[in-house]
């Protein structure tokens, strides 16, 4: 299986952490992608194998013998169900919906982080400070909600909800600094603990190579 990646992407990271948590990394070829900073506002040229694999032209994208999946949600579903025996997300029932409720909030943070990053890559009058502030507000609100509504019931399994939450925290810390910690100090303490897991340590964010 071929997985298109870059270490800067939190969407890629949640997939890579899930793969490591499941202990199935040897089944994947990881293809590093390169992106110019203009990705935020322009269609950029990418190698033919990538554009053939994904008309969406975003990462992560997973190519298997049977199916090509072009977003992290579908890929995590595939890893969990087809390769992971539902160890990272319950197949059905209350536990599934509880995890999806937390994951939706963490995904909301990541969407805001990436949109904010794209906006910050604009220059001059094109950049909207209002939009950047709106994304930041969403991030902070979501951290507070995760701390209040979901942290108390995080279980012993480092599941997809916890993985996605930790990836959101890690991206904020890397890209925007410790600002988020004030919105959710108990979540920050939880994050400091789980950040030591080998799956998170091995996937620390780093800048994407440019072309």
Ligand X SMILES: N[C@@H](CCC(=O)N[C@@H](CS)C(=O)NCC(=O)O)C(=O)O
Q: Residues 2, 73, 136, 141: which binds ligand X (CB under 6 A)?
A: 73
Q: Where are the beta strands (DSSP E) in the chain?
A: 2-5, 29-32, 61-63, 68-69
φ and ψ at residue 43, rounded to 5 degrees: -75, 125
Instruction: Show contacts with ligand X in window 78-117 (CB under 6 A).
Output: 114
Asked if 77 is part of the footprint of ligand X (rule: CB under 6 A), the reply reads no
Q: Residues 54, 72, 80, 165: which binds ligand X (CB under 6 A)?
A: 72
Of 53-61, 77-85, 97-105, 183-191, the segment contacting ligand X by CB under 6 A is 53-61
- Taking the C-alpha atoms of residue 89 and residue 102, their distance in angstroms, rounded to an integer, is 12
Please tell me the count of residues contacting ligand X according to CB under 6 A: 11
Q: Residues 39, 50, 174, 176: which binds ligand X (CB under 6 A)?
A: 39
Of 58-66, 122-130, 169-177, 179-187, the segment contacting ligand X by CB under 6 A is 58-66
Asked if 58 is part of the footprint of ligand X (rule: CB under 6 A), the reply reads yes
- Taking the C-alpha atoms of residue 30 and residue 52, their distance in angstroms, rounded to an integer, is 17
Q: Where are the alpha helices (DSSP H) in 121-159?
A: 129-145
Closer Cβ to ligand X, 76 or 90, answer by number:
76
Angle at 42 between CA 75 and CA 77, to 5 degrees: 5
Per-position b or e across 167-177, b if 16+ CB within 10 A of its CB: bbbbbbbbeee
Residue closest to ligand X (Cβ): 58
Binding site for ligand X (CB under 6 A): 9, 11, 39, 57-60, 71-73, 114
């Amino acid at each position: 299986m071929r997985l298109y990646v870059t270490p800067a992407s939190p969407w890629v990271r949640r997939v890579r952490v899930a793969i490591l948590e499941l202990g199935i990394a040897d089944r994947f070829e990881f293809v590093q992608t390169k992106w110019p900073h203009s990705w935020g506002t322009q269609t950029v040229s990418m190698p033919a194998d990538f554009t053939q694999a994904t008309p969406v032209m975003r990462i992560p994208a997973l190519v298997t013998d049977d199916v090509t999946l072009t977003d992290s949600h579908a890929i995590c579903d595939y890893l969990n169900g087809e390769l992971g025996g539902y160890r990272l997300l319950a197949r059905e029932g209350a536990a599934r919906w509880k995890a999806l409720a937390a994951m939706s909030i963490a995904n909301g943070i990541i969407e805001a982080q990436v949109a904010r990053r794209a906006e910050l890559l604009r220059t001059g009058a094109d950049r909207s400070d209002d939009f950047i502030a709106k994304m930041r507000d969403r991030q902070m609100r979501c951290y507070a909600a995760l701390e209040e509504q979901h942290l108390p019931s995080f279980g012993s399994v480092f599941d997809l909800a916890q993985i996605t939450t930790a990836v959101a925290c890690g991206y904020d810390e890397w890209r925007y600094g410790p600002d988020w910690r004030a919105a959710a100090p108990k979540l920050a303490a939880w994050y400091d603990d789980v950040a030591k897991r080998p799956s998170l340590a091995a996937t620390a964010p780093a800048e994407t190579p440019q072309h």
